[in-house]
Chains A and B, each alone.
Chain A
Amino acid sequence: MKNNLPEDSAPSIEVKSPEPGAYNLRLYVAGQTPKSLAAIANLKAICEDHLSGRYSIEVIDLTITPQLAAGDQIVALPTLVRTLPPPLKRVIGDLSNTERVLVGLDIRPRVQEPS
């Protein structure tokens, strides 16, 4: 319920989370592959640009802890999971498309574009 608020009440461009709510982000990767490294780098850059001081990133390497994959329903890698604020959000890929990441994490509302 509460989580619908920002979307409904604030269709503005820059969403400031109403509370000083921090973004808890979890990034699942498998080993030090180019995609993994790109995803980590891209995520850090996006967070610095848009969530400065309001985020924490946890990188989980499934080659080391495969048992964690089932918990967050991980299929594709890399997967970025927003655990806080709710609801759970996922972005898959190397996060090279910043716009998509911002939309996927609800940092920026989905733009109603036909293309």
Chain B
Amino acid sequence: MNDQQGEAAMHQLSKTATGIKGLDDLTFGGLPTGRPSLLCGAAGCGKTLFSMTFLVNGATDYAEPGVFISFEERPKDLEDNVASLGFHVADLVREKKLVIDHIHIERSEIEESGEYDLEGLFVRLGYAIDSIGAKRVVLDTIEALFSGLADTAILRAELRRLFAWLKDKGVTAIITAERGEGQLTRFGIEEYVSDCVILLDNRVEEQITTRRLRVVKYRGSAHGTNEYPFLIDDEGVSVLPITSAGLEHKISQEAVSTGVADLDSMLSIGGYFRGSSILISGLAGTGKSTFGGSFVEAACKRGERCLYFAFEESPDQIVRNMNSVGVKLKGHREAGLLRFEAARPSLYGFEMHLARMNRDIERFDPKVIVVDPISAFRGPHLEIHATLVRLADICKSRGITAVFTSLSSVGDQMNESERSVSSLMDTWISLSDMEANGERNRVLYILKSRGMNHSKQLREYELTDDGIHFIDAYIGSEGVLTGTARLAQEAKERQASMVRQQNTEKLRRELVRKREATERHIAELHADLAREEDEVDTIINQEEAWEAMLGSDRSKMAAVRGHHHEK
């Protein structure tokens, strides 16, 4: 289906790449070749810079010279303004890759008498195009003609002719126009330019501006229909195509060390999965950044490129602070393995931040990123969610292992940003400190870690001079004990076990004594028996002796009697 559509689109319409990151993705190739496209938006939303980028990219990257017809800014001003994007327009003009023509109409200078047409504009445009063989044209902002010329009937007819003429010329053109009330453009230019209409918007929400882009229509082509944030800064223009991220990323079985040996062992695979997203949430001062920093240091030691997005501290501050807990980042930073991108969260809306981060990621191509912290972003949670989903998707699609830190507030189980991203995260480590006995002790808990059997224990840890170290867990009837409570409990335990030991010892001794007593008793009985036996023997002997003596006495007596009797 998708392929068919893509193929069909390719056959139907050839496209001209704008070279603007993201825009070419969401229009599946760029602007319609050889046709005018309308770029509309309110004042100050970047129409001029956007269209100049189109020309400069064409001239430098696609060998397509361009013509910029400016109705508002003079060439010199224009050159200065786009110099802020790093464009050297004057060089391109010298190299005959670009022509800038300033068309200026001052109504007060002009008297209209009779019929006229805009052939002069055609002549100038045609001359400019032919002089360098231009393939791209920008008319910025053609509506200025409406304020310069009175006869709008002529003007409209001529504009219609102009756009047809541009098509005949086969140039890919961008026509810019001011946003109007109730319609796309103030003077209804969209009526004439209908192949491709792109709307730029610059909205201020909660004092933060976010530039957004929407492809309103694109005849004959599929296109992303959402609003996409885009970015204009010293690196040029880039659009963040949200929907180009999907769920089809490849997954990895490889484990990458967390940089904390004890934490590695809590995760059964010995670290995070490569390409997974990790949320480290915790209270202030629980060492979220240190966990992030340790992870980065481990990655740098493996020779992987790391990008650290800092929203609360300056890079130097982070490096210094990490150094104090034994996480050495300075060398890696100097070696170019580690890059910091620091910005105040309030500098742009988070969509802008996202666009910027996306661009940085694409440019630096890191293996590992740290976003510290996501809780710095304030705003409607739907938007935060959408933004972070996109960031996580970007990372996953590129196989980047991403660590996000988030500051939770006391008493709040989850803050807005955590709640909104928790389902996105593959691993969620919660850091907190337990307050008891007048002290705070840091504990860590792995709330979840998809695809592995992780430890379910609460673990106490310390931030020491040489990194994060875990302390053997004490888990008793009163839950996990930390700090002195743990020590006290341990002492109590030791005492109790000593008492128990003493008790057994006593019992053992008693038993021995009992056995000895019993044995003594038996011996006594034996002795008694022996004595009795002796006595009985003696008596028996006496009796026998007595009997024997009696017998002989009797015979003696009988003999005496008999003898006497016999006589």
A: residues with CB less than 8 A from B are 28, 30, 35, 38-39, 42, 62-63, 66-67, 69-70, 73-79, 88-98, 100-101, 103-105
Interface membership of chain B positions 103-128, coded 1 if the CB is closer than 8 angstroms to chain A and 0 otherwise: 11100011111111111110110110
CA distance A38 to B117 in the complex (A): 14
B318 contacts partner chain A, Cβ-Cβ < 8 Å: no
Q: How far is the CB of B140 from chain A (nearest CB, A)?
A: 15
Q: Which of A73, A77, A93 contacts B103 (CB 8 A)?
A: A73
Decide if B78 is an interface residue (CB 8 Å cutoff).
no
A28 and B122 alpha carbons, distance in the complex (Å): 13
Given A35-B115, A94-B115, A95-B114, CB of A73 within 8 Å of CB of B123: no
Which A residues are CB-close (under 8 A) to B148?
75
Chain B, range 505-558, C-beta contacts under 8 Å to A: none
A93 B104 Cβ-Cβ under 8 A: no
Contact check, B111 vs A89: say whether CB atoms are below 8 A apart. Answer: yes
The binding surface of chain B is classed by DSSP as mixed
Q: Chain A nearest CB: distance from B435 CB in Å? A: 76
Check if B118 sits within 8 Å of A77, measured CB to CB. yes
Q: B residues engaging A (CB < 8 A)? A: 101, 103-105, 109-121, 123-124, 126-127, 145, 148-149
Do B124 and A66 touch (CB < 8 A)?
yes
CA distance A105 to B114 in the complex (A): 15
* Residue of A whose beta carbon sits closest to that of B122: A30
Given A75-B118, A77-B118, residue A92 in contact with residue B109 (CB < 8 A): no
Chain B, residue nearest A67 (CB): B127
Among B105, B116, B123, chain A packs the most CB atoms within 10 A around the CB of B123
How far is it, in angstroms, between the C-alpha of A77 and the C-alpha of B111 when the chains are bound? 13
Q: Which of B101, B104, B113, B149 contacts A104 (CB 8 A)?
A: B113
Contact of A75 among B114, B115, B120, B126 (CB under 8 A): B120
* Contact among B112, B127, B145 with A92 in the assembled complex (CB-CB below 8 Å): B112
Closest to B117 in A: A77
Q: Which residue of A78, A98, A101 has the most chain B CB atoms within 10 A of its CB atom?
A: A78
Cβ B114 vs Cβ A77 within 8 A: no
Q: A66-B123, A75-B105, A75-B145 are in contact. Are A104 and B111 (CB under 8 A)?
A: yes
List the B side residues contacting A94 at CB < 8 Å.
113-116
Taken together as a complex, chains A and B put the C-alpha atoms of A105 and B111 apart, in Å, by 9
Q: Is the CB of B115 within 8 A of A103?
A: no
Cα-based distance from A44 to B137 in the complex (angstroms):
38
Note all chain B residues with C-beta closer than 8 A to A88: 109
CB nearest neighbor in B for A33: B119
Which among B116, B118, B121 is the interface contact of A93 at CB below 8 angstroms?
Answer: B116
Contact partners of B111 in chain A: CB under 8 A? 89-92, 100-101, 103-105
Cβ contacts under 8 Å, A78 to chain B: 116
15 A–B pairs (Cβ distance < 8 Å), ordered by A:
A63-B123, A69-B127, A73-B105, A75-B118, A75-B120, A75-B145, A76-B118, A77-B116, A77-B119, A91-B112, A91-B113, A93-B112, A93-B116, A95-B113, A98-B113
The residue in chain B whose Cβ has the minimal distance to the Cβ of A36 is B119
Which of B117, B120, B148 has the most chain A CB atoms closer than 10 A to its own CB? B120
Indicate if the CB atoms of A96 and B123 lie closer than 8 Å: no
Assess whether A96 is in contact with B113, with CB atoms less than 8 Å apart: yes
Q: Give complex CA distance A95, B111 in Å.
A: 10
B116 touches A74 (CB 8 A): no
With A91-B110, A92-B110 already in contact, 15 other A-B pairs whose C-beta atoms are closer than 8 Å: A30-B123, A66-B127, A75-B118, A75-B121, A76-B119, A77-B119, A79-B116, A79-B120, A89-B109, A90-B109, A92-B112, A93-B115, A94-B114, A94-B115, A94-B116
- Measured in the bound complex, the distance between the Cα atoms of B105 and A76 in whole Å is 10
Residues of chain B lying within 8 A (CB to CB) of residue A89: 109, 111
Most chain B C-beta atoms within 10 Å of own C-beta, residue among A76, A91, A97: A76
- Are A62 and B113 closer than 8 Å at their CB atoms? no
B152 CB → nearest A CB, Å: 13
